[in-house]
Structure 1
Amino acid sequence: NDKRERLVKASRDITINSKKVIFQVHRVNKNNKDEVLEKAEKDLLNVTNQYIARLVKELQGTDFWKLRRAYSPGVASFKTYDLQFFRPQAGKLLTLAEINTHLLQLSDPSLEPFQINVLDYLLGLADLTGELMRLAIGRISDGELEYAEKICQFVRDIYRELTLIVPHMDDNFEMKKKMETMLQSVVKIENACFSVHVRGSEYMPLLGSSEPNFSFLGVTDFEL
């Protein structure tokens, strides 16, 4: 129906614009950190006020859980890219209660508010680990191994905690698939960090470059 179509479109708009924010975050380095994060936070606020607010308006005062499959991808994407998630050095995440409190501020107090459920929160958290994996690889490429190791520990902790929760969830098919992908992200970060420790700084440029590089063979070029 029309409402479902509007929700699907709103969800897509949230996903597209949230991805733009994360692309900015992946550009962060020790020289531009404050500038990049400041712009990303402003853009994220715009996503909240323009797109999330529209979704909340559509869903408040309704049996929104019946329409979950229409809006869930956008909600998961937005929570993945919330910049509060991208501060592993702080060692904490936004809680579900904090997120829903924020959504209340976008709602009409005279109507039943739209709230995110546990499953959508965990799906967003699972997607976050994939983005953190990409961020960690990028930091290693720029020589920031210590920062990448903090991300690695952060992602490892998330995965470990979720392995205790997911088996007890009633509707856990989606999360089981996410857990497999999450484990791959953990392994990729661990392998990248380990490779740098073993092979040293010569490994770092190779991670962030698509150009052929044969320095690990002891030569600057190699004729195939």
Structure 2
Amino acid sequence: MSGRTPIIDHLSLKVHQGEFVSLIGPSGCGKSTLFRLIAGLLEPTDGVISWTGGEVSKRLGAISYMPQQDLLLPWRTVRDNCLLPWELKKNRAGGPEQLAFVTDMLERFGLGRWADAYPHELSGGMRQRAAFLRTLAAGGDLMLLDEPFGALDALTKREMHHWLLSLWGELQRTILFITHDLEEALLLSDRILLMPRGGGALEEIIVDLPRPRQPGVHATARFLELRMELEQRLTGDVFR
């Protein structure tokens, strides 16, 4: 709107198919707003958002988006929460193929015995796994994950990191990931993009750690070098 300062300005971002890219920046710089724009929950006042080679005017429902809160519906079982995307898309309950997919994935996610449980019966890590499965069930090659592990304790978060890494190789999805946790970004990502407050060009750090990432990677010399580089870049005034 005329006379108002834009939340995001002069930003250019490209993510390649199959990449895991983390976005880091100070609170209020527009990271979550960017995700809502990409997902189609908001529309930009200027610029172009393109996906799989062409401009996408109807992104809503075509791109999977997992917000910071798990937003599991408390009156639905874990299975029914995971079947929700098909109900919303087709205005009917998931058919046999969808049910078989969710049943199989619940087992692979370690939630098979909890399929008929309700969200309040799950631990924080289990709720996040269920929310991730629901996001996966929504379809689309691109997944937007907005600080999905931010509310978890350190041990549960570490467990979720290794769980996500083991799944990501099989899923062959492109992931954009928002985090404030530097070690989390380094462990998971192919690239890290630093988003300054007030708009402007993104800075990039290539995470050249070998895949698959091993449990002891946090203690390697290269990991520590990358963490130091990341901290140094974030101390610049534009990122404060």
**TM-score, normalisation: structure 1:** 0.31
Where relative contact order (Cα < 8 A, 6+ residues apart) is larger, the structure is 2
Structure with the higher fraction of residues in helix conformation: 1
Flag the structure with larger Rg.
1
